[in-house]
């Protein structure tokens, strides 16, 4: 005697579905499939029939309504599972610098050069700490240092856009992805500069 499988198959209705009709207006089919109402309430669902849940999911855009800056910040937060992160060694005081403990007696005669390199790196780290957190990745993508003027930003964007535009690379997929990243980074930095300039003008007028 062949045993009947109790495994839940793909596209089977959700066992937890309510005994109700599909919530798509005008549909009288039985509801058996859940879909989140919004990205802010992922545990609050609509209940649809199979046809309408497929239609709903096809039109679902998690990032709808977000600015490029918000999307960039959200993607970076996702890389650390939405948890805060710090550079290795940065939370306990000074960051560990391997160059400062190599050859402490200067046996190889290169201590002065290493100390100069370590000092330069500390200066670069200090300068990087002044960069607004939301701009660090976009500026890195654009190859720019902070602070940066709007004119320099525009000139750099034009160079990179011309270099990575899909039409200039024969439709290369990697170039297209790089072009998208450059566009997103440019939007984030430009928006920040405009916001800072607007705030400065408003403060000057108020003063």
Q: What is the pLDDT of residues 2-51, one digit of tens each?
A: 565 555 565 688 888 888 899 999 999 998 898 888 877 778 889 999 99
Name the least confident of 80-94, 115-129, 164-178: 80-94
At residue 98, does pLDDT exceed 70? no
Q: Residue 21 half-sphere exposure, CB side, CA atoms within 13 Å?
A: 6
Q: Please tell me the distance from the alpha carbon of residue 105 to that of residue 164, in angstroms, as a whole number.
A: 49
Class of domain 68-88+132-206 as given by CATH: mainly alpha
Compare 27 and 202 and report the one with higher pLDDT: 27
Dist. CA 42–CA 78, nearest whole Å:
16
Say how far apart CA 19 and CA 17 lie, in whole Å.
7
Angle formed by the axes of helices 150-164 and 133-142, nearest 10°: 50
What's the distance, Cα to Cα, between the start and end of the chain in Å?
89
Where are the domains positioned within the chain? Answer: 11-60, 68-88+132-206, 97-130
CA distance 20 to 99: 68
Between 11 and 55, name the one with better pLDDT.
Answer: 55
- Which residues, including other chains, have CB under 8 Å from residue 186's CB and lie 6 or more apart? 138, 142, 153, 157
CA distance 4 to 7: 9
Asked if residue 71 lies in contact with residue 138, where contact means CB atoms within 8 angstroms, the answer is: no
* Positive or negative torsion for Cα 30, 34, 35, 40: positive
């Amino acid at each position: 005697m062949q045993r009947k499988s109790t495994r839940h198959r793909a596209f089977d209705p959700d066992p937890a579905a309510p005994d109700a009709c599909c919530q798509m207006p005008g549909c009288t089919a039985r509801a058996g499939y859940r879909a989140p109402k919004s990205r802010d309430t992922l545990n609050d669902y609509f209940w649809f029939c199979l046809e309408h849940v497929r239609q709903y999911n096809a039109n679902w855009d998690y990032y709808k309504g977000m600015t490029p800056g918000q999307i960039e910040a959200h993607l970076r937060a996702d890389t650390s599972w939405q948890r805060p992160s710090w550079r290795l060694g940065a939370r306990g005081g000074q960051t560990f610098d391997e160059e400062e403990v190599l050859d402490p007696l200067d046996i190889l005669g290169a201590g002065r050069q290493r100390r100069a390199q370590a000092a330069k790196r500390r200066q670069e780290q200090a300068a990087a700490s002044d960069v607004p957190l939301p701009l660090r990745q976009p500026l890195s993508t654009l190859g720019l240092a902070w602070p940066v003027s709007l004119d320099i930003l525009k000139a750099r964007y034009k160079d990179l856009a011309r270099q990575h535009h899909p039409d200039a690379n024969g439709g290369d997929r990697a170039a297209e992805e790089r072009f998208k990243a450059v566009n997103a980074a440019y939007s984030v930095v430009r928006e920040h500069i405009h916001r800072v300039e607007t705030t400065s003008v408003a403060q000057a007028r108020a003063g």
